Amino acid sequence: MQSRYFTINDYPKGTPSRDLFELHSRELPPLGDGEVRIRNTWLSVDPYMRGRMSGVTTYIDPFELNAPLEGAAVGEVTASRDARFAEGDKVRHMGGWRDIAQLPGDMLEPLPGIEVPEQAYLGVLGMPGMTAWTGLNRIAEMRDGDNVLVSAAGGAVGSLAVQLAKAKGGKVVGIAGAADKLEWLEQHGITAVNYRGRSADELSQALKEACPEGFDVYYENVGGDCLEAALNNLKVGARIAVCGMIARYNAEAPQPGPSNLAMILIRRAKMQGFIVFDHWDEYSRFLDEVGPQVAKGEIDYQETVESGLESAPDAFLKLFEGANHGKMLVKL
């Protein structure tokens, strides 16, 4: 049985080029005791993978050069030497960036039983959805009636964050770039603010016009000018959940911090970063709460789907161009 998989051949500086990614094929060894073979059906590409391409250990190790890349995937078991998994089972695991994965059974989890398309477990009911829920509820401690600002609001994390925030009854403002995302936000009762072509001061002014009374919560996905503009628009006692800073992931040199960090002091605000995996013990609570709403169609989730294993690098690189609406996925 052949497995086709992607590797990277270098740790890039700046925006990675398509040439970084190499597609290989190899014969898989016979299934060892406790191992499971999976035919992947959906692969996830996520912004955090850029950090793993930097060669530096952060909260997670870097990808190994010239070794199969890793990432979340959903697939079907085709052979198993682990009594917990049988042929035909649907599972989620980290053996993505490849078509056939062969992993110890301990590295697999059965898909939860909520009636949603299986790829939803990589998006709205997977790591990105859990991230949105965790950042709002556990980190920002969002309360009923809070005014909430979300950056990268049309993406996988942001598009659930704005809907969860909206359900709490306050004013919700979403920052996004692509026109279809701005339109989608407005259709869902979210005030959409375009960051493209605006300086930090101009963005700050646009946020003031969108929500003159200021924000109780800022859900930070972007950093840079978005953070600077958000800091100018906090209410006293605001909470900032720092989820990501995608504007900096491809930076070639250290970037200056926001010039107005003193607003944290002036507005007596709290700012806390978090990594979703530290909160995974709450995943079943998240599923109980959000899963039924997704299954009933009360939460709208978008997907951008690229087809075929070969498209995985392009799908990944498009995250940094804003080409995805909602979760970026690769369908095999």
Ligand X SMILES: NC(=O)c1ccc[n+]([C@@H]2O[C@H](COP(=O)([O-])OP(=O)(O)OC[C@H]3O[C@@H](n4cnc5c(N)ncnc54)[C@H](OP(=O)(O)O)[C@@H]3O)[C@@H](O)[C@H]2O)c1
* Interacting residue ranges for ligand X, rule: CB under 6 A: 46-48, 128, 131, 152, 154-158, 176-178, 181, 195, 221-222, 243-244, 246-247, 274-276, 319-320, 322, 324, 328
Burial of 128 (0-12, 13-18, 19+ CB in 10 A): buried
Residue reference for tokens 């978090």:
274
Residue placing its CB nearer to ligand X in the complex, 34 or 62? 62
Residue reference for tokens 């600077």:
228
Task: State in angstroms the smallest separation of the CB of 331 from ligand X.
Answer: 16
Task: State in angstroms the smallest separation of the CB of 280 from ligand X.
Answer: 10
Residue least distant from ligand X (Cβ) = 155
Residue placing its CB nearer to ligand X in the complex, 37 or 279? 279
Give the closest residue to 322 by CA, choosing from 224, 199, 198, 194: 194
Task: State in angstroms the smallest separation of the CB of 247 from ligand X.
Answer: 4
Task: State in angstroms the smallest separation of the CB of 82 from ligand X.
Answer: 29
Q: Are 103 and 68 in contact (CB under 8 A)?
A: no
Residue placing its CB nearer to ligand X in the complex, 54 or 78? 54
Residue placing its CB nearer to ligand X in the complex, 100 or 231? 231
Q: What SS3 class is residue 264? A: helix
Question: Could you tell me the CA-to-CA distances from 171 to 88, 181, 310 in Å, in that order?
Answer: 45, 18, 42
Residue placing its CB nearer to ligand X in the complex, 96 or 105? 96
Residue reference for tokens 């979703």:
276
CB count within 10 Å of CB 66 equals 11
Q: What are phi and psi of 103, to 5 degrees?
A: -140, 155
Task: State in angstroms the smallest separation of the CB of 284 from ligand X.
Answer: 18
